[in-house]
Amino acid sequence: MKKHDELAGYTAVVLVNTGTPEAPTPHAVRKYLSQFLMDPRIRPMGLVPWFCILHFGILPKRGKASAQKYGGIWTEEGSPLVATQAKLARGLEDAFAAQGLPIVVRSAMNYGQPSVGKVVKGLKKQGVERIVALPLYPQAAFSTTGSAKDHLANAVRKSHFKGDVTVVESYCDTPMYQKAIAAAIRNAGFDPDSDDQLLFSFHSVPLNDLEAGDNYELQVGSSSLGIANQLGLDRRRWTIGYQCQFDKGRQWLTPFSRDILAGRAENNQGERIFIVCPNFAIDCLETIYDVQQHFIPEYLAAKRDFDLYGQRRDNDGAQSCIGAIGESEDIVYVPCLNATKAHVKVLAKVLEPYLQ
Instruction: For residue range 12-69, list pLDDT tens digits in order.
Output: 999 999 999 999 999 999 999 999 999 999 999 999 999 999 999 999 988 999 999 9
Q: What pLDDT, on the 0 to 100 scale, is given for residue 18?
A: 97
- CATH topology agreement for domains 11-171+341-354 and 175-334: yes
- What average pLDDT does this structure show over 158-178? 96
> What pairs with residue 115 in β-bridges?
109
Look up residue 344 and give its amino acid.
V
Distance separating alpha carbons of residues 143 and 223, to the nearest angstrom: 19
The pLDDT of residue 143 is above 50: yes
Closest CA to 224 of 256, 265, 177, 258: 177
Indicate the residue type of 75. T
pLDDT of residue 3: 46
Under the phi-then-psi rule, with left for phi > 0, alpha for psi from -120 to 50, and beta for the rest, what region is 310? left
Domain ranges of the chain: 11-171+341-354, 175-334
pLDDT (0 to 100) of residue 304: 79
Mean per-residue pLDDT over the chain, rounded: 91
Cα dihedral 78/83/84/87 (nearest 10): -150
Say what the pLDDT of residue 46 is. Answer: 93
Q: What pLDDT does residue 7 have? A: 86
CATH 3.40.50.720 fits 175-334, yes or no: no
> Cβ(170)–Cβ(140) under 8 Å?
yes
Phi, psi of 121 (to 5 degrees): -60, -40
d(CA 90, CA 339) in angstroms, rounded, equals: 9
Show the beta-strand stretches assigned E in 117-173. 130-135, 164-167
Contacts of 186 (CB under 8 A, 6+ apart): 192, 231
Cis peptide before 114 (omega within 30 of 0): yes
Fold of 11-171+341-354: Rossmann fold (3.40.50)
Q: Phi and psi for 170 in degrees, rounded to 5?
A: -160, 165
Q: Would you list the DSSP string of 283-301?
A: --HIIIIIIIIIIHHHHHH
* DSSP for residue 56: I
User: What is the value of pTM for the model shown?
Assistant: 0.91
Query: What is the pLDDT, as a whole number, of residue 137?
Result: 98
Task: Locate the DSSP E strands across 137-281.
Answer: 164-167, 197-203, 238-243, 273-276
